[in-house]
């Protein structure tokens, strides 16, 4: 922006006066909207940031003086703070100090920094004293919550589609997507009258969310065979399934591919599928200079996660296991969205409390994608 609001301007006074009479959220939005009309939004000058913070501070002070309930300031996609230019580092620190001032010091408001980035918490605690932070991981929806969320999304994009979400359909969807909000939204948007792979094959193959057990995987493959080649199911013998499971595991996308490629013999199918397995891991196992991890370190991570009961390893233990440079390697893998960083939260349903062992203060490392395991 080219300029900020002068302290005595009529626009400034109008918004401040309105703040005492109208809803706090609307008043705050009025401030931002007024500022945004003053010039180009392609740059964000520190003076403009100061103007915004001053207005919000006066709004919070007025609310506290009236004895009102603490307002909640929500910053979505807060991880974009990491992307501010070094020239704006001072302005960013002013913003973080403002958050601390209105919460811990003056108790004028709550500030919620929301992010889907595993790396954001690690960055934030390097910028702000951890005693000022309370971290909560929401994680994925539970089985029941996921269905309610998908039904809501269906009603938004296709009001007539909700009635087609039967119990069987939802169980199939949950096996593929789990309770991941992004995948459930994608399902709702892609739904065109059928939930099967004939509609969303590419989607199912590209998103490796969760694997089936040995028994579930066989049942799933038999179902897929019946869909695409009704006469092929009888050729899935015990020996054939064991061979398939060794190559594909319970990965839904790979099992769908097997069913579609089957032409009377499983050997060529498995050869073709195995050439495409683990492409993401294969690329990660050939790190380029500057990626931040070595091939041996990632291989050790995969082994550790694969052998753990819950697919999660305590961060410090993993770092020590990787040896010299282990801390930097773990951080780099988190930044590359290969690994996930999890802290205990009662809000989360996708990892059991037992995964944290005897202490809830531990940080766990998981695979960001089930493909890696």
At 223, the pLDDT band (50, 70, 90 cuts) reads confident
Q: How confident is the model over 219-224, as a mean pLDDT? A: 87
What is the model's pLDDT at position 33? 53
Q: Is 108 exposed, middle or buried (0-12, 13-18, 19+ CB in 10 A)?
A: buried
The per-residue pLDDT for range 123-180, each reduced to its tens digit, is 888 888 877 778 777 778 888 988 998 888 888 877 665 566 788 888 888 888 888 8
What is the model's pLDDT at position 235? 73
pTM (two decimals):
0.44
What is the model's pLDDT at position 214? 78
Handedness of CA 276, 278, 282, 284 (dihedral sign): positive
Nearest to 355 by CA among 303, 308, 310, 306: 310
* Model confidence at 81: pLDDT above 60: yes
At 56, the pLDDT band (50, 70, 90 cuts) reads confident
What is the model's pLDDT at position 232? 60
Report the distance separating Cα 319 and Cα 257, nearest Å.
37
| Angle, CA of 144, 147 and 152, to the nearest 5° | 130
Maximum separation of any 2 CA atoms in the chain, in Å: 82
Report the distance separating Cα 194 and Cα 118, nearest Å.
34
Q: Where are the alpha helices (DSSP H) in 101-180?
A: 118-127, 143-157, 167-177
Can you tell me whether residue 369 is helix, strand or coil? coil
What is the model's pLDDT at position 40? 41
Report the distance separating Cα 154 and Cα 145, nearest Å.
14
Report the distance separating Cα 285 and Cα 308, nearest Å.
21
The per-residue pLDDT for range 270-314, each reduced to its tens digit, is 877 666 555 556 677 778 878 888 888 888 998 898 888 888 899
- The mean of the pLDDT values for the chain is 75
Domains of the chain: 10-132 (no CATH), 143-277 (no CATH), 280-372 (1.10.10)
Instruction: Give bridge partners of residue 365 from the DSSP assignment.
Output: 313, 341
What is the model's pLDDT at position 248? 76
Report the distance separating Cα 290 and Cα 306, nearest Å.
26
Report the distance separating Cα 207 and Cα 315, nearest Å.
26
Q: Which residues contact 324 (CB under 8 A, 6 or more apart)?
A: none
What is the model's pLDDT at position 350? 61
Report the distance separating Cα 299 and Cα 192, nearest Å.
41
* Model confidence at 7: pLDDT above 70: no
Least confident stretch, 51-55, 194-198, 318-322, 331-335: 194-198
- Do 49 and 90 contact (CB within 8 A), yes or no? no
Angle between the N-to-C axes of helices 197-206 and 214-228, in degrees from 0 to 180, rounded to the nearest 10: 140
Nearest to 140 by CA among 352, 351, 335, 343: 351
Instruction: Give bridge partners of residue 113 from the DSSP assignment.
Output: 75
């Amino acid at each position: 922006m080219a300029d900020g609001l002068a302290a005595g301007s009529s626009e400034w006074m109008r918004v401040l006066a309105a703040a005492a009479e109208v809803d706090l959220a609307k008043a705050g939005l009025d401030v931002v909207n007024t500022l945004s009309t003053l010039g180009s939004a392609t740059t964000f000058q520190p003076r403009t940031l100061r103007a915004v913070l001053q207005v919000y501070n006066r709004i919070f002070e007025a609310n506290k003086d009236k004895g009102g309930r603490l307002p909640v300031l929500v910053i979505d996609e807060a991880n974009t703070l990491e992307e501010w230019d070094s020239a704006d580092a001072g302005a960013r620190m002013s913003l973080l100090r403002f958050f601390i001032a209105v919460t811990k010091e003056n108790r004028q408001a709550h500030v919620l920094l929301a992010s889907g980035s595993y790396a954001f918490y690690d960055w934030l605690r390097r910028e702000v004293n951890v005693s000022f932070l309370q971290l909560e991981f929401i994680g994925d929806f539970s089985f029941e919550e996921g269905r309610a969320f998908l039904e809501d999304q269906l009603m938004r994009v296709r009001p007539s589609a909700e009635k087609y979400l039967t119990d069987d359909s939802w169980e199939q969807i949950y096996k593929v997507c789990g309770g991941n909000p992004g995948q459930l939204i994608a399902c709702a948007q892609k739904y065109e009258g059928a939930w099967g792979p004939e509609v969303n094959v590419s989607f199912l193959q590209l998103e490796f969310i969760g694997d089936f057990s040995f028994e579930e995987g066989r049942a799933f493959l038999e179902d897929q065979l019946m869909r695409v080649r009704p006469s092929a199911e009888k050729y899935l013998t015990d020996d054939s399934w064991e061979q398939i499971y060794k190559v594909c595991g319970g990965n839904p996308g790979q099992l769908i591919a097997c069913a579609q490629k089957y032409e009377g013999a499983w050997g060529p199918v498995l050869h073709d599928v195995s050439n495409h397995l683990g492409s993401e891991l294969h690329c990660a196992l050939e790190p380029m200079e500057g990626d931040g991890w070595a091939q041996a370190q990632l291989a050790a991570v995969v082994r550790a996660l694969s052998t753990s009961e819950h697919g999660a390893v305590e961060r410090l233990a993993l770092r020590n296991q990787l040896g010299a440079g282990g801390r930097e390697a773990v951080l780099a893998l988190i930044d590359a969205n290969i690994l996930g960083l999890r802290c205990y939260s009662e809000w989360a349903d996708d990892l059991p409390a037992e995964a944290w062992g005897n202490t809830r203060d531990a940080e766990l490392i998981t695979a960001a994608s089930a493909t890696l395991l």
